[in-house]
Structure formats: C-alpha cells, structure tokens
Amino acid sequence: MPDVAIQIEKLTRRFGGLTAVDAVDLQVAAGQFFGFLGPNGAGKSTTIKMLTGLLAPTSGRMQLLGLDFATHSIEVKRQIGVVPEGMGLFERLTGSEYLHFVGQMYGLDRVTTRRRSEELLEFMQLSDRPKTVIADYSHGMQKKLALAAAVIHGPRILFLDEPFEGVDALAAGALKELLGRMTERGVTIFLTSHVLEIVERLCSHVAIIDKGRLVAQGSLEELRAGIAGEAGSKTTLEEIFLSIVGQGGAQRPQLEELSWLT
C-alpha cells in the first residue's frame, strides 16, 4: 500500500476568466483524516470534484494511491468513495434500492450488496421506512444515505463534502465513530466542513484554501506552532483559520455600519 494516498501537483481549474483552483500542491498520507478548509467560494468543492472525476482540471496532475487519475480513472474510482456536493442521490429510488444500485455499480455481487445495504441502513437508522423514496427523506436522512452509499464498496479513500451538514447530533456521533474506525483500518478521509469544531476533533491534518490558493497545510500542531510563533496563544482551529484566512479579522464585515441593529 502506498504511503501517499493523494498527491496533487499544480492542480488548476479555470472557469472562463475565474481561476477557482490555482496551482494547488497537496499531499495526503494514507490513513490520514484530512480536513480541507476554506471560506465560501474558496475552491474546496471544485478541488473535490476534480479529485473524484466530476470535473476535469485545466492543468496539473493528480495521483490517488499511486495511480494517475488521467490515465487510470476507472481503477482510481474503484478505490474511492464520494459524498459529493448535493449528495448525488437518485431521488426516486428507496434507500435500499439506491444502495443496491450503487453496490452493483461498484461491481459488488448481489449477496454482498444486500448484506452490506442492510447493515448500513440499520447503522444509519434508515431501515424503518423501506418503501419510502429518497425524495421523501429529510435532508439529514439523505445525507446519511449518501454516506452509506459512499462506503458500501469499502473504499480506501473517502471524499466527503460537508458530511455533517443537516445531520442531527445523534447521527453525527455515530458517523464520527464510523469514520474514526475507518481511519484506524487505514482508510484515508478527505473532508470539507464549515464546522471547525468537528474538523478539529476529527482531523489530524488540515489544509486551508483561500481564493483558489493553498495558504496553509500541515498537522494541527504544526499549524498551531506556526500561528503561536507569530501572534501568541492562538490555539483553536477557528482562531487559526481566522488568523490565516481572515488575517486577524481584516476580511470580516464591519459591524459599525449596522449601529441601528447593535
């Protein structure tokens, strides 16, 4: 098994005149729980889309588990699981039908697919409505189902775009436990989230992207050490994030103009 799960070199994506991802270099070791952070519109989802084959890069190179995505896309896709932005569900199937569908799309046999589907639906507490189509699920249920579909084939890298958004605390706890166990088994998890507390609790390594450029990367300790050296006792990930992206609050909207509200 290669030591490096994800290797990105000079990855760039342009949309007309806008450079959404600008020459990003990134390396994620196998088995890492990796948090990919950034403000809205920074290029997080665009990066994940390129890493999962949903978007072609304008330039640059991506290697996953030692395989070049451009030349071995099918082999790479076999090894990865994805919860994309918007979840990518077929909303007119039931949860069970969807998991069967995805299992077979990843080449699992029917018996294995059925067994894993039942276990996943049970674990995600989605097994009590077998006849309900996904369109009638709540947002949190859809999120859990999307995660179940992403792991049904036992991926070695898991890409999660805002996996905890809209998920209740109980389910979030179960998901965190599941993800934690997956990393213990050597699965690499690449996650974006706006909930920095969750990222801080789960992730061992973090990268921060802003305006398409990677502005920080390393373990939480390394990032803390870097900030502590510059500005004193910045300990939480939120403070690190604001310090790097917000430059100490320079980008924050100013409240003085809302005096009538405050």
Partner 1 sequence: MADVVLLPGLLRQIQLVAGLRWRILRNRLRKKNNRMDLIGLIFSGVFGALMVLGLSVAFCFGAHTFLSTGRAGWMALLFWIIFIWWQLFPVFVAGFGTSFEFRTLLRFPLSLGAFYLIGLAYGLADFSAIAALCWLLAMTIGATIAMPDVLPAMLLLCGLFVLMNVTLERLIGSWLERLLARRRSREIFLAIFVLMMVSVQFISPMVQRYGKVAQPWIGRMLPYLAPFPPSLAGGAIAGAAGHHVGELFLGAAGVLVYVLLFSGLLWLRFASQYAGEELAETAAPARALVRHASAAGDQPDTLSRLAPQVAAVLRKEFRYLTRNGFAFLTLLLPPLLVLLFSSQMKMVGSSGRFRTPSPDLFFPGMMAYLVLILMAPAYNAFAYEGRGVQTYFTAPLPFRNVFLGKNLMLVSVLVFEILLSMAVLAFRVGLPSTPRFVATLAAIVFTVVGQLVIANWSSLSFPRKLEFGQMRGQRQSGMAVLVAFAAQIVLGAISTTILFAGGWTGNRWLPAEIFAFLAAAAVGGYFASLDALTALAEKKKESLIEALCR
Could you list the residues that contact partner 1 (CB under 8 A)? Answer: 52-56, 74-78, 80, 82, 84, 86-93, 96-97, 100-102, 104-111, 113-115, 127-130, 132-133, 135-138, 260
Cα–Cα distance between 62 and 18 in angstroms, integer? 21
In which residue are the tokens 């973090």 written? 206
**In terms of CB distance, is 145 or 198 closer to partner 1?**
145
Cα–Cα distance between 214 and 225 in angstroms, integer? 18
Is 165 in a helix, a strand, or coil? Answer: coil
**Please, what is the minimum distance in Å from the beta carbon of residue 196 to partner 1?**
27
**In terms of CB distance, is 87 or 242 closer to partner 1?**
87
Phi, psi of 249 (to 5 degrees): 100, 0
**Please, what is the minimum distance in Å from the beta carbon of residue 22 to partner 1?**
18
**Please, what is the minimum distance in Å from the beta carbon of residue 156 to partner 1?**
13
Cα–Cα distance between 181 and 185 in angstroms, integer? 6
**In terms of CB distance, is 92 or 252 closer to partner 1?**
92
Contact between 125 and 175 under an 8 Å Cβ cutoff? The reply is no
Is 143 in a helix, a strand, or coil? Answer: helix
**In terms of CB distance, is 232 or 260 closer to partner 1?**
260
**Please, what is the minimum distance in Å from the beta carbon of residue 137 to partner 1?**
7
**In terms of CB distance, is 10 or 92 closer to partner 1?**
92
**Please, what is the minimum distance in Å from the beta carbon of residue 233 to partner 1?**
41
Q: Which amino acid, 151?
A: V
Phi, psi of 161 (to 5 degrees): -100, 105
